[in-house]
């Protein structure tokens, strides 16, 4: 249910936050690096995003805006050197993402890539970063392989992953009686790993999986897949997809009367943008897991209002995570006194993360940034009091429970 208007956030908080940012900017720019400490005398950051496709609304311009906000709030310079941001559209193609990453690292002196939208492009860039020994940080993609079997000493998975989503949402749904499942799965790395992770959780908690239908990325017609889901008579239809695919699937399910027939939908990756597009009438009652919600506390509201003022919509968890990760990277460069990869990564892993996005977050040896995750329920239309007022908090999962424990990890960087 889309409604016009601007959420009213406490003006005094915005003023106070502006003073904090101004003070931080002065501090950040005060100390200059000695000659040679900053490669090419400039710190270049890159974002390889979906700017025009199925994930454009959940990464795209919003993630680029969040990254630039972090740079501006830091003061625009670090160690006396300018911070530059490059953004490119990979068109959801892994080969384009990898080629751009290689070009940036080889010829354009990019120090770190701060996000790559989509799991297949993200994995392609991961290998380039490993080869070039350059930092890459992820807030948009979900595949847990980034910190599992394909982990790298140069990568950080910052915001969420498929394991944490499945572990939280699937477990809660099974515990509430949703024992039998059928999946609608995006047919690429992200969807496959999300389905596999959810299947493991469902079975471990006494449930069963009756089948799955895989659909191409960017599907507009879900009729045949939903007919198969209906025929399965599964209690829960799990959506192992994201972005426009999830929105289209939920809208189609409403038209098919799937939920009226007694089946329930479980979105394994839903963003607030998706709820906004679907509307509360169709989305009410859905449970979902997020790493961030704009209306959780004074800090989230203050930062989100600044973001809203720029784009006229509230940020999602990946966009908030991008801001936080860029700020953390810049603080690490400042603390290390250089943009050299090993020194900066050492600082990133040693420094705690305390901001509006995460409290006492930390980056483990496998590159996983561990922080709390939140289980929400989408409000009924009658419960929503203002624009973007969509969630009510059901549970908070501490990071050490939300993410895959190191004892289960196959990352070769983990000490046994």
Q: Which domains does the chain have, with CATH numbers?
A: 43-160+297-371 (3.40.50.2300), 163-290 (3.40.50.2300)
Over the stretch 256-308, which tens digit does the pLDDT of each residue have? 888 778 888 888 989 999 999 899 988 888 888 999 999 999 999 999 999 99
Mean of pLDDT values over 310-339: 98
Beta bridge partners of 258: none
Q: What is the pLDDT of residue 220?
A: 87
Q: What is the pLDDT of residue 258?
A: 85
DSSP 127-177: HHHHHHT-EEEESS---GGGTTTT--TTEEE-S--HHHHHHHHHHHHHHTT
Whole-structure pTM value: 0.86
- State the average pLDDT for the chain: 90
Query: What is residue 40's DSSP assignment?
Result: G
Mean of pLDDT values over 110-137: 97
Pairing of strands 362-363, 369-370: antiparallel
Over the stretch 361-403, which tens digit does the pLDDT of each residue have? 999 999 999 999 998 989 999 999 999 999 999 888 899 989 9
Of 23-32, 93-102, 247-256, 353-362, the range with the lowest mean pLDDT is: 23-32
Q: What is the pLDDT of residue 175?
A: 84
Task: Give the integer Cα–Cα distance in Å for 314 and 387.
Answer: 9
Residue 22 has pLDDT above 60, yes or no: no
Q: What is the pLDDT of residue 8?
A: 46
Query: How far from 197 is each of 143, 168, 169, 191, 409, CA to CA, in Å?
Result: 10, 11, 11, 10, 13
Residue 263 CB burial class (10 angstroms; 0-12, 13-18, ≥19): buried
Q: What is the pLDDT of residue 31?
A: 63
Task: Give the integer Cα–Cα distance in Å for 322 and 320.
Answer: 5
Confidence at 358, pLDDT banded by 50, 70, 90: very high
Reference 152, options 113, 97, 103; nearest CA is 113
Q: What is the pLDDT of residue 17?
A: 46
Q: Could you tell me which residue, 218 or 323, shows the higher pLDDT?
A: 323
Residue with structure tokens 């979105």? 267
């Amino acid at each position: 249910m889309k409604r016009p208007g601007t959420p009213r956030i406490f003006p005094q908080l915005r003023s106070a936050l502006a003073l904090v940012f101004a003070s931080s900017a002065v501090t950040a720019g005060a100390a200059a690096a000695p000659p040679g400490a900053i490669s090419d005398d400039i710190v270049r950051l890159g974002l390889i995003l979906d700017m025009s496709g199925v994930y454009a609304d959940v990464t795209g311009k919003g993630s680029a805006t969040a990254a630039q906000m972090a740079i501006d709030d830091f003061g625009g310079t670090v160690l006396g050197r300018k911070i530059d941001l490059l953004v490119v559209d990979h068109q959801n193609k892994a080969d384009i993402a990898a080629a751009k990453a290689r070009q940036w690292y080889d010829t354009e002196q990019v120090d770190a890539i701060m996000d790559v939208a989509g799991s297949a492009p993200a994995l392609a860039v991961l290998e380039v970063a490993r080869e070039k020994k350059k930092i890459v940080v992820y807030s948009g993609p979900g595949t847990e392989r980034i910190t599992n079997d394909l982990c790298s000493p140069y990568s950080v998975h910052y915001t969420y992953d498929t394991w944490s989503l499945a572990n939280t949402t699937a477990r809660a749904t099974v515990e509430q009686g949703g024992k039998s499942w059928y999946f609608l799965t995006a047919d690429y790395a992200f969807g496959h790993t999300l389905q596999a992770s959810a299947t493991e959780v469902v079975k471990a908690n006494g449930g069963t999986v009756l089948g799955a239908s895989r659909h191409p990325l960017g599907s507009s017609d879900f009729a045949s897949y939903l007919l198969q889901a209906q025929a399965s008579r599964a209690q829960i239809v799990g959506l192992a997809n994201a972005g426009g695919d999830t929105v289209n699937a939920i809208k189609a399910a409403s038209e098919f009367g799937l939920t009226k027939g007694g089946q329930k939908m479980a979105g394994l990756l839903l963003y607030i943008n998706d709820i906004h597009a679907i509307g509360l009438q169709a989305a009410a009652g859905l449970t979902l897991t997020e790493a961030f919600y704009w209306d959780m506390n004074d800090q989230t509201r203050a930062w989100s209002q600044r973001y809203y003022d720029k784009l006229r919509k509230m940020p999602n968890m990946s966009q908030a995570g991008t801001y936080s990760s860029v700020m953390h990277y810049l603080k690490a460069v400042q603390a290390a006194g250089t943009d050299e990869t090993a020194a900066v990564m050492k600082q990133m892993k040693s420094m705690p993360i305390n901001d509006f996005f995460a409290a006492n977050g930390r980056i483990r040896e496998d590159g996983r940034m561990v922080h709390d995750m939140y289980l929400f329920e989408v409000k009924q239309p009658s419960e929503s009091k203002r624009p973007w007022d969509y969630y009510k908090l059901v549970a908070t999962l501490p990071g050490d429970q939300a993410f895959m424990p190191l004892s289960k990890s196959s990352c070769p960087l983990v000490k046994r």
